[in-house]
Chains A and B, each alone.
Chain A
């Protein structure tokens, strides 16, 4: 009897071991959910699962606070997390991430500003000028100085109520060259914003609100994320956009400190930023590849490239936001902006 029992136990042990050996490795990827994460699933995660023969589970997050909570509580659930660029820069300062292994991750074709010791960009989005075509036709404002020119382009405006990007925009409108923005001349930015304030119908709080303002014709000119503008236009908004003087911003990938599958996560990130997979992102969502080499894979036609915000031609017309600057100044300037808006 005891013999049989022992045999049974041994057998289950062997079977159990065999089962785990044949099962694929599982890692968890967390991102912002919605259409964005669905696009990441199709363009990036599905092909990576096949290539590495692993299973990538998904979770959603709302920002750096989630990663911070897991790392501080020593209960890290995620192996790879997608965050906003400024959050990545902030997390680096706080030491929340594992260093990335650039022996595994190839960075050719990625702007060095988007490559850091423990984070790397994954997609670009842009803040662009959008205008109502019923009001201004196809020849809307082409620079932020035009947006500030209420004689040439009479009508209402809308900008983000957040400090970042709105301050850069105000400075460009006042004549600061896009490559000379940082460190921001805050006083000059506030003065510039004060000039346009009477023409601002609403300071938007979310991407959805900015799209609504454009679509309803509430705001004749909106500083808006290109993805939101694209979706609004597709949805029937009478509007057009230009990449001129746009601000390139990025989402980035990190490995939270203490992630259980750190080594595999490095390989996954390497594939996520590789030109081959990056080239598929614009098929599923209005975001641009972080890796410029994606445009040389032959997967993107020249017509498509003309529309994508991070194609070499469009990148040249825009400027890249400084995450480092905003890491150091976000709190201070948020208070300043808030006081200004309430005046």
Chain B
């Protein structure tokens, strides 16, 4: 075939791909970008017209600073804990033979398929003052005062962690499964201790999965609403809760939109930072080709 024919083929393929992708583009454009852009626009309006009042409120009212602080703190804590718990779990499952791995993976996924409210209320039953955990600990004499495990920051973090673990385990597990274990054997045969082989070979090789999982967990955490609403006892207000509160408290959409804009900018910034760090890793040779 000549060059012109190849080029025509390529053009045809591009056209077909564009046509196939267009419904998704239309949905995203029509249902996401346009309304989001409209809300962005509204955030610069209040009852009196064009104004920065919605943004000024975030600086002058002390509640907003702590809302952002709590949201970040909670997201960071849950992400760190998810890594600490999720990475070894993924490793264990990846090491198991096929059938056992499938069963374990299903166990990780079952809560993932359960309704959010059901899981949230289940934690309430377990953790509350007269809940199952406190009752058992008292019975066994391990504590002499009921622990405040829920209706606070602790309970919110526990509930969120439970929801987020599959988001970390799945990409890390996929990464580990795809890994060629000859690398580890090679490290050992070249004299690396197990710890050294892990830190210098295994961890760098599984880093892409870990990074993807970590960023996903953190970003999803930033938008939590239901869990802190039900397990926070009113002491934990996340940005999403504040957005909802502003929709009902203020007459117009602007107050809530402004919060949405700030949350979006924050999330985008974190993504950008993460991508910077990740490419740095690949520059230093820590990421596999």
Contacts and interface: CB of A to CB of B under 8 A. Distances in A.
Interface of A: 63, 65, 68, 90, 94, 156, 161, 201-205, 209, 212, 216-218, 330-331, 334-336, 338-339, 341-343
Nearest to B236: A342
Contacts of B245: 334, 338
A216 B63 contact: no
B175 interface: no
Given A156-B129, A205-B229, A342 B61 contact: no
Given A330-B249, A335-B57, A338-B242, 13 more contacts: A63-B248, A156-B129, A201-B233, A202-B151, A203-B233, A209-B230, A212-B124, A216-B128, A331-B250, A334-B249, A338-B63, A338-B237, A339-B66
Contacts of B57: 335
A94 B251 contact: yes
Nearest to B231: A202
Contacts, number: 61
A342 B70 contact: yes
A331 B249 contact: yes
B129 A218 contact: yes
A204 B251 contact: no
**A interface, over-half SS:** helix
A240 B67 CA distance: 36
A216 B126 CA distance: 12
A218 B230 CA distance: 14
B61 A339 contact: yes
Interface string B206-234: 00000000000000000000000110011
14 contacts: A65-B247, A201-B233, A202-B151, A203-B233, A204-B234, A205-B229, A205-B230, A205-B234, A335-B57, A338-B237, A338-B245, A339-B62, A341-B234, A342-B67
Contacts of B129: 156, 201, 217-218
Nearest to A205: B229
A343 B249 CA distance: 21
B185 interface: no
7 tightest Cβ-Cβ pairs between the two chains A and B: A203-B234, A202-B233, A161-B234, A202-B151, A339-B63, A338-B63, A342-B66
Interface string B138-158: 000000000010010000000
A156 B234 CA distance: 15
Nearest to A209: B230
B130 interface: yes
A342 B237 contact: yes
A90 B250 CA distance: 11
Contacts of A201: 129, 148, 151, 233
A63 B249 CA distance: 12
A331 B242 CA distance: 12
Contacts of B130: 216-218
B151 A341 contact: no
A201 B248 CA distance: 25
Interface string B41-62: 0000000000000000100011
B235 interface: yes
A203, A209, A330, A342 — most chain B CB neighbours (10 Å): A342
A284 B86 CA distance: 52
A155 to B, nearest CB: 10
Interface string B226-266: 00011001111100001001011111000000000000000
A318 B35 CA distance: 46
